[in-house]
Structure 1
Amino acid sequence: MVTRTPSRRIGFFDRIRTGWTLTKDSASVIRDSPELLAFPLLAGVASAAFLVVFFVPMLIANLVGSGLEYLALFGWYFVTTFLSTYAAAALVHATNETFHGRDPSVRESLSAVSGRLGPIAAWSLISATVSVLLKALEDSDNPLAGLLGVLFSVGWAIMTFFVVPVIVFEDVSVTGMFSRSAETFRATWGETLGAGFGVTLVVGLFGLGLAVVALAVSLPLAAVFPVAGGVLAVLLVAVAIATTYLLSQTIWGVAKTALYVYAAEGQAPSQFENFEFETLGGRTEKRASPGNAGTRDTL
């Protein structure tokens, strides 16, 4: 049992400072292992390709109605969640390998999590079902239903915050993946969402800066050659958005892995020596080590 220190509520500027440190340390990991960016890129490309294929069926379902649109939406949520979770699991695996001094390739990490396709599919099925239910509550004309949807979505985000690392590192049942994720969040990282706000803000400001630079480069050209300048502006802003997306997904994946590794092993990865993990709620009992075999839960 590792002694747990009392949790400290962090304020707005503390969140910014924490988010900056977490982002900076995560970015340093990406700088040393740029191949980590490949995982959210693969997920984004695969999801975009599926949207092209699935666009017409979704359009028809929306026109027909009678609940068919929710069935199409379920299919969309399931496939995109599966693709993004598979890529996120590979990112978590590759990040953990990096933490432990190893240098896996993209192919090796994808192959390493292929044995977890069952839990990934189960998670995708449940997540898609919940997403459709939340969408139905959101579309409801009942204000109470909308409020319930917001409250449930917040609770769902907290309960499933560490689902992907749990799937990768622990041999658990379907119910076990949710209980272990919620337990890790509750016992160890009660302020993680606050720190996450800081990470989101820092990355968002970086993306805004990229968009401003893109417009600064293209608008003078648009003043002389409107068509060419307009096309260049669209392309550069699209590149800025895509870059921000890749960095955001990868930084948050690296950061979440670091949080989970610390929770499991009680020791911060060397790449995060500047980050004060204890200020996010202390440590919890060591249940599974990402560097070793996980625990097994039964139904």
Structure 2
Amino acid sequence: MATSTKSNGFGFFSRLKTGWTLTKDSLSVIRDHPKLLVFPLLAGLSSIFFLVLFFLPMVIADVIGGGLEYIVLFGLYFVTTFFSTYFSAALVHASNEVFHGREPQIRESMTAINPHIGPIVVWSLISATVSILFRMLENSDTPVASIMRSIFAIGWSIMTFFIVPVLVFEDVTATSMFKRSGETFRDTWGETLGAGFGITAIVLGIGVILVISAVAISIPLLVLSAGLGVLLTIVLVALAMVFTYLISQTIWGIAKTALYVYATEGVAPSQFENFDFETLGGRTDRSATPGTK
């Protein structure tokens, strides 16, 4: 266990250091288990599929109006949230397998989530409803609506930050899932805030480097053939963005699982031995035991 580095401070460099440590340790998990990248890939592909599937119904609903657009949009939000949550839950399960010394398996991790389909459906319905409310507030031009949207967005983000680990490891009802997620956020609030800022900044930096590298690789071909050079640039930049997305989502899944495991078990995963979990903002004893799943 590392010595305390006061990473629960709210300074820029303190948050960046917190995020860097979590990112570095999460990347080491990805390096040892690259198959974890498959879960966010499946989540992204499912979202693209349903966006394409719902495109024409959304256009028709917008033309007809009368609230039909919100009904179609609700369906889109529901299915994309469901599949995104399903594959994210499988990533959390696989990460927990790694933390407890077991080799994660893609099919087994998804199979392990099947008993939790019910809570995931409930969560997807609630999330889709809230997303519609957000959209309605966005369509309102009043200052009060803007203020309400901002306040609600912050509260919603805090309440649901650990919703996926809770759905995976705990038997929860529609109301208790938010309570448990909020409790875990409270128990890890210092590192959660630091992780959010640091991981986002570092992954963004990785993405920028990859995009610049993609453009640099294309320059020689751009000189020889502008058309082929532009095509190569588009392909390489797209691949860089996709890879950045996969890395980002996988890091978040691994880091959230690590924070959750510590908050519930009081034991830091060995893969995060460089991270000082003792600086958490008040971990309390909890009854969940994710290691037994």
Q: Where on the TM-score scale, by shorter chain, does this alignment land: which range? A: over 0.9
Unaligned ranges ≥5, structure 2: 1-5
Compute the displacement of 1:191 (Å): 4.5
Compute the displacement of 1:51 (Å): 1.6
Amino acid paired to 2:81: T
What is the match of residue 72 of structure 2? 72
What is the match of residue 228 of structure 1? 228
Q: In the alignment, is residue 55 of structure 1 matched against residue 55 of structure 2?
A: yes
Equivalent-residue separation in structure 2 for 1:219 and 1:62 (angstroms): 43
Task: Kindly report which structure 2 residues correspond to 1:34-53, keeping only aligned pairs within 5 A, or say none.
Answer: 34-53=34-53
Amino acid paired to 1:131: S
Q: Which moved more, 1:15-24 or 1:62-71?
A: 62-71
Unaligned ranges ≥5, structure 1: 1-5, 294-299
Task: Kindly report which structure 2 residues correspond to 1:115-194, keeping only aligned pairs within 5 A, or say none.
Answer: 115-194=115-194
Equivalent-residue separation in structure 1 for 2:72 and 2:92 (angstroms): 30
What is the match of residue 279 of structure 2? 279
What is the match of residue 81 of structure 2? 81
Equivalent-residue separation in structure 1 for 2:144 and 2:190 (angstroms): 27
Instruction: Give the 3 Å change call, closer, same or farther, for CA 198–32 of structure 1 in structure 2.
Output: same
Corresponding residue SS for 1:171: coil
Equivalent-residue separation in structure 2 for 1:189 and 1:267 (angstroms): 17
Equivalent-residue separation in structure 1 for 2:174 and 2:166 (angstroms): 11
What is the match of residue 198 of structure 2? 198
What is the match of residue 13 of structure 1? 13
Deviations 1:140-177 (A, max 9, x none): 01111011101101100001111110110001111111
Equivalent-residue separation in structure 2 for 1:72 and 1:196 (angstroms): 32
Corresponding residue SS for 1:113: helix
Task: Kindly report which structure 2 residues correspond to 1:71-110, keeping only aligned pairs within 5 A, or say none.
Answer: 71-110=71-110
Deviations 1:15-49 (A, max 9, x none): 11111100000000111111100000011111111
Equivalent-residue separation in structure 1 for 2:12 and 2:287 (angstroms): 32
Instruction: Give the 3 Å change call, closer, same or farther, for CA 49–267 of structure 1 in structure 2.
Output: same
Equivalent-residue separation in structure 1 for 2:199 and 2:192 (angstroms): 10
Q: Alignment identity in percent?
A: 63
What is the match of residue 290 of structure 1? 290
Corresponding residue SS for 2:73: helix
Instruction: Give the 3 Å change call, closer, same or farther, for CA 8–34 of structure 1 in structure 2.
Output: closer
Compute the displacement of 1:179 (Å): 0.6
Q: Which moved more, 1:77-86 or 1:217-226?
A: 217-226
Compute the displacement of 1:217 (Å): 1.2
| Contact 2:8-2:190 at 8 Å conserved across structures | no
Equivalent-residue separation in structure 2 for 1:8 and 1:249 (angstroms): 23
Compute the displacement of 1:264 (Å): 0.7
Q: In the alignment, is residue 252 of structure 1 matched against residue 255 of structure 2?
A: no
Compute the displacement of 1:8 (Å): 4.3
Deviations 1:62-109 (A, max 9, x none): 222222111111111111100100000000000001110111310000
Instruction: Give the 3 Å change call, closer, same or farther, for CA 66–219 of structure 1 in structure 2.
Output: farther
Instruction: Give the 3 Å change call, closer, same or farther, for CA 219–61 of structure 1 in structure 2.
Output: farther
Compute the displacement of 1:7 (Å): 9.9
Question: TM-score scaled to structure 2, two decimals?
Answer: 0.95
